[in-house]
Amino acid sequence: MPATTRIAGADAPPRAGDRILPFTRFVLAFELIVLAPPLLALALAPDDTDRWFAWTIAKPITAAFLGAAFVAALIMSFGALRAAEWRTARARLLGGSLVTSLLLVITLRDLGPMHFREGPFTARAAAWIWLVDYLVLPVLNIGAVVLQWRAGPGRPADRRPLLGWTRAVFLV
């Protein structure tokens, strides 16, 4: 019995409709840059959001939880950026389109808590950067998805069963 299982065609180069376009890679790389500052502010200084983040978060545990969400998004973006095929990266880009669009709506609906005019320079800068990022990111994400779909549908995702330990984790 072999130690590793090989999937037929796994080493083959992506077909034309399944390759990740340069614009999509640019969007994913841009997201890595955009995700880093709020991640650092929330994960490393959850007690100091009044100085380092776009708005003050009263409870540090809430800031830390939001920071963990940024960590997860960063890891997913990095994995999608390293992917060779669109079918591997598309879930991240579709999810990113949804999340960034919702964050834009939420931000525009309630600009009051944002540090646009008061607070230290770092907080004011974070507020303006947040607004600009979330005005731009939904457009970039949706644009990348549309361009990818126009380039070709890509191959369907592999339907491999989950590993035993993975199924056990999901049951817990």
pTM over 0.85: no
What's the confidence (pLDDT) of residue 7? 44
**What pLDDT shows up at residue 28?**
94
Read off the amino acid at residue 142.
I
Please say whether the beta carbons of 134 and 100 come within 8 A.
yes
pLDDT (0 to 100) of residue 14:
54
> Across the 172 residues of the chain, what is the mean pLDDT of every consecutive 10-residue run?
46 66 95 92 92 94 93 91 89 90 93 93 95 94 92 64 74 68
Domains in the chain: boundaries: 18-171
24 class by beta-carbon count within 10 Å (0-12 exposed, 13-18 middle, 19+ buried): buried
